Structure 1
């Protein structure tokens, strides 16, 4: 606040700068790591390059080169509603660590894909990166059986090496079938491609249309003409129990994302949207509360932080992301001497305790059907 210059006695109005509301962090910028067809001379392996559409990608890296998975994934991302992506070119997976290290400096990334790579060791490395960063989520491809595409055994084994307690990744299967963009005009050839890029685009589209709290499922996969394998309900039930997200087709409809489970052993983080919602809230708070750093650590600061955080979480609750008839039922914010004793204050720390009740997807809608003398009655439970 600027000093008020000496004036005649009276009442004066002075404008001061106060902490503004917390703006929500972005959730739909994706990063793709893989091998490209070509590249500009000034592009270094492992260096993230921002692309905003498919044309930009082809100008930087060329188009398709079989059997590469990355170009098809990036094209599918933009086709499904994605708008911003970083491409991290590598010669092979030995450079994965270098690529992920580079992404630690690219702070607006929220989705990470490793298109077409199904080795669980590499995928686990990507999940660990996302967990360490805390603000991003790994979208991974399920493994194919090279001998029999109808065998789900490989994806079961793959999943066992990816489960964690915190659930910073999800696995999608089967692969999708698209028209080969390089096939002759008038005689399109269909080819199977990894689904992760298309799924990342579905997530971006769902985030923009409904919000990150909406499970990115029951959504069509644009550009997908078919699936490499058609699951029945029994097979899907097994995959769902293993937290493997299925892609399904139903009569007369396009391929759909039909699962929203994260690779989490802890049931608190079972659903993709819950994990991504909490990551979004955490990232938004980290960005929106920087003004408080180096302020006097007293009750005035605590009250200002409480007001700012409460206002932001109230907006999150009003968007439908948190469950509760009132804001008080949906979340709480605690900044007092109990969580900030003198031992904590002496370290120069302010602790803010937040509790959330996120909404979870209606994964199973149960219909109770019974008969009575007046006819039939159906009730949803």
Structure 2
């Protein structure tokens, strides 16, 4: 019989306990290309998923290039099985699974009911092939735009090779989950399917307007300037250099939260910006809630969790009009869409908002309600439905 356990990250109307006692749990193999101690969107999503599976009475096991067994937030022990790892030549901080052999013996030993492939690449492909060999259904979550990554980092074969590889990976899985409707459409255009929509959840306690800190604001914007910020991995694909003109605006202070290979170059290019490094927990929640405006120039975001977190904190966002943020930001309602690639146009938009506090306040009032229904509890249950669906389909007679 399953034990009823309080579910974290619930909102009004969310179910408050685990599945009905007596409902059999699934053993879910979660395959992650990166994992702890790395800090990025994929790792955060995996941790949230694993926690939710455990809370709901399922048995998650993580297969990754790093990490160790740990205790989930509900007290369940989570097994982490590691594989050989490598580091990208131009991105030494990121530890990835290196090309591996046949994973069939590993998957057979772990005996999952279903395999969850988190942003699959090399490890995900090997695991998907092993699952297919063993007749275990699998779900592949598309989270990282590998084609854009290949273009920006000038990887061999470029975007065309990346899409060929992605078709191979996702074609081996039974279902692909896309985090946003623009991403789902892009996948279908490139011959990947079946595709279903699975957005990410947001922690409404960590990211909340009540965490706004006047003392922190006074430290970051001592002259009462408009406080504009971004939370991102400091990497080439985030295009944070386009925030340079914003950092020079009078009456504006730019705050950058995060770390990565571009930190030194960005610090030199934007000497007036405040770089706070990697933050988490309550510290991150306080910084985000203390902003007046969130600005994210990335054009290759499949979802952009940082934008959703800013909205949850009551902070409107100005974002590039492409990819995942299109599902989150409604122009002139809870934020603004920046079309094109001209950073001076982006700076002009921010300057206009600096001079129009009424418009900024109106968007701020609409920010949190626009994402309040997107709790991790609800998104986790939606994912479990997808996992159960592919498992049920696999059990049908041919």
TM-score > 0.5 by shorter chain: no
Task: Give the TM-score normalised by the residue count of structure 1.
Answer: 0.33
Q: Which has the larger radius of gyration?
A: 1
Task: Give the TM-score normalised by the residue count of structure 2.
Answer: 0.32
